[in-house]
Structure 1
């Protein structure tokens, strides 16, 4: 019998004004910090550390971009990496920390996905298609989430975080039922299933109210709950719980040139509906989840992602890379090109 393994960041800190703790945290490490930041985050919030050198993330996380940033960090004598911005900028910072063997502090400025807590680094090619997944030796040392900053970010980004979080209970349970492995090579522990379930319950209860906070630009209890769900519970739920069809479908969706520009969480929300259809869940529950997606502004059709009236060739272009994804093994009913295409058609015709 294989081991049950749960992984997590060494420290997770969340709340309005949390960024003020960053200088003290850096002092605890006693190392020269180097900041990798998204240019939009820098323009909106400024550098999180006034005296530290800053490298601007170029926008797509490729192997070449990681090498470029790592070279700048070496030149600066970096002893600690601070990654600031959205998911791709954070993964770029993780790539630098991995290349240099340095600790990392993650400062998300949006809650659009669960990259901040994960040790995974999703690498794309120049055409914005997923190329490979690298890994840090362990989860980030510190994740520092300032919800006053998150509340000022665009509504669409928080909605994407809700979309990314939506899948985790379905994927973790599918992985466990299929006897799959999580991202630590172990079987799914009960704690991961509980975290994934809590993530789903939280976003369903507070998701719409949290999105309203972005209109006011100030956090409240609903936003705090949803940010914790989208960043912490979702991250632990997928990494220790395992993934399945919903995330596998992002491989196929990003491979289609008409869909590569959508946000990760938007793709996962659509993928969740396809996984539910493939699993044959009851129609009423599936329709309820689709209605929740609509209320949050998340896609429920390929047309919402930029592909109206998909042809059989379009669907084939999506199913091919999806079926090649390793997480597709985590299904009670194995997927075939025909069964996956049928699930997509079910979603397209309406849940």
Structure 2
């Protein structure tokens, strides 16, 4: 049995970036920063100053490439192989962090993650999600490592566009629904039952204070509710798969997310937003009552998550496109975590049912 619960250390605080060097110095004297163009711009000056104060040289600052793709992983691995850096520092969102987790695994280097958005639990897991260079889902890469240290500056998260936090809520909601599905195939034990309990707490936390956290970002105010939601999205949700392992993996919602990425028009929609719609479709496959689905959609309306294909840019699919969606989605390994066999037609029917129900509630969106 092997369990990787999450990062070795997680620290979250206001203005934390100013003290980053005091935490990173234990990993060595030289570092490379790898991340998105915007995220590096946000953190590099403060990070470099803090590293210098603790006699750490930031030797390189590199763009991760824009997609968590094998090509970008290979390129960065080759570029850093002989760079003589002691520690890798990654910043940005899930794709950036996943890319560098795979690079750190290949190079066998310590890894520090500095998320600039709270949109996924990538900073707290040992796996990387791979995409093509064009953004289509490929698979789950297990030649990846959990960060040795995660530093979360809550002020930086607060200043990010609120849509990132909303997407993080959508992605994290899936922990409860997918864990409930995937664990049905497992023999109960202390680890997977602990994972189920954590997933339940994650779900209730988001229902109770998710809207408050969204409001905090909209008003640029660091609140306890926001910090609790940040911790829930980035750290606590990652521990569900950490404790549950293969018994508590992502399932139908993420498989449907991956299936929908075959349509280029959805690439402007964030991961967690698409996953949120995937939850609705998974619940349709599980014959969840319409009342329960409407209650969940009501929460989506409250926090700003999409619940129709049209809200994600997908309109007027042809029958051949529907068929391609169904056939591709059932090949995603996450779909095998459902407690029953899923056919392409089941996927098509579920997506259509979720979309129809969502469209029926569009007129009920609260006025802004």
TM over 0.5: yes
In the alignment, which residue of structure 1 is the partner of 2:209? Answer: 206
In the alignment, which residue of structure 2 is the partner of 1:109? Answer: 116
Instruction: Name the SS of the counterpart of 2:330 in structure 1.
Output: helix
Q: How does 1:232-271 map to 2 (within 5 A)?
A: 232-239=235-242, 240=244, 241-271=248-278
Query: More displaced, 331-340 or 265-274?
Result: 331-340
Is contact 1:32-1:80 (8 Å) kept?
A: yes
Instruction: Name the SS of the counterpart of 1:139 in structure 2.
Output: coil
Q: How does 1:125-164 map to 2 (within 5 A)?
A: 125-136=132-143, 138-164=145-171
Instruction: Name the SS of the counterpart of 1:189 in structure 2.
Output: helix
In the alignment, which residue of structure 2 is the partner of 1:123? Answer: 130
Q: How does 1:1-351 map to 2 (within 5 A)?
A: 5=3, 7-47=5-45, 48-50=47-49, 51-52=57-58, 53-136=60-143, 138-179=145-186, 189-239=192-242, 240=244, 241-350=248-357
Instruction: Name the SS of the counterpart of 2:267 in structure 1.
Output: coil
Is contact 2:7-2:150 (8 Å) kept?
A: yes
Task: Give the Cα–Cα distance (whole angstroms) in 2 for the partners of residues 264 and 145 of structure 1.
Answer: 20
- 1:130 CA drift (Å): 1.4
- 1:290 CA drift (Å): 1.0
Is contact 2:5-2:238 (8 Å) kept?
A: no
**Where do 4+ consecutive residues of structure 1 move more than 4 Å?**
3-6
Give the alignment's Cα RMSD to 1 decimal. 2.1
Task: Give the Cα–Cα distance (whole angstroms) in 2 for the partners of residues 202 and 19 of structure 1.
Answer: 27
Pair 192,28 (structure 1): closer, same or farther in 2 beyond 3 Å? same
- 1:180 CA drift (Å): 8.6
Aligned residues: 345
Query: More displaced, 328-337 or 192-201?
Result: 328-337
Is contact 2:119-2:169 (8 Å) kept?
A: yes
**Residue deviations 1:329-350 (CA, integer Å, cap 9, x gap):** 2223321122222211211111
Task: Give the Cα–Cα distance (whole angstroms) in 1 for the partners of residues 317 and 354 of structure 2.
Answer: 12
Task: Give the Cα–Cα distance (whole angstroms) in 1 for the partners of residues 231 and 39 of structure 2.
Answer: 20
Instruction: Name the SS of the counterpart of 2:218 in structure 1.
Output: helix
Runs of 5+ unmatched residues, structure 1: none
Pair 330,73 (structure 1): closer, same or farther in 2 beyond 3 Å? same
Task: Give the Cα–Cα distance (whole angstroms) in 2 for the partners of residues 314 and 297 of structure 1.
Answer: 28
Task: Give the Cα–Cα distance (whole angstroms) in 2 for the partners of residues 69 and 155 of structure 1.
Answer: 30
Task: Give the Cα–Cα distance (whole angstroms) in 2 for the partners of residues 180 and 266 of structure 1.
Answer: 32
Is contact 1:87-1:113 (8 Å) kept?
A: yes
Query: More displaced, 284-293 or 101-110?
Result: 284-293
- 1:31 CA drift (Å): 4.6
Q: Give the structure-2-normalised TM-score.
A: 0.88
Instruction: Name the SS of the counterpart of 2:109 in structure 1.
Output: coil
In the alignment, which residue of structure 1 is the partner of 2:54? Answer: none
Runs of 5+ unmatched residues, structure 2: 50-56, 359-368
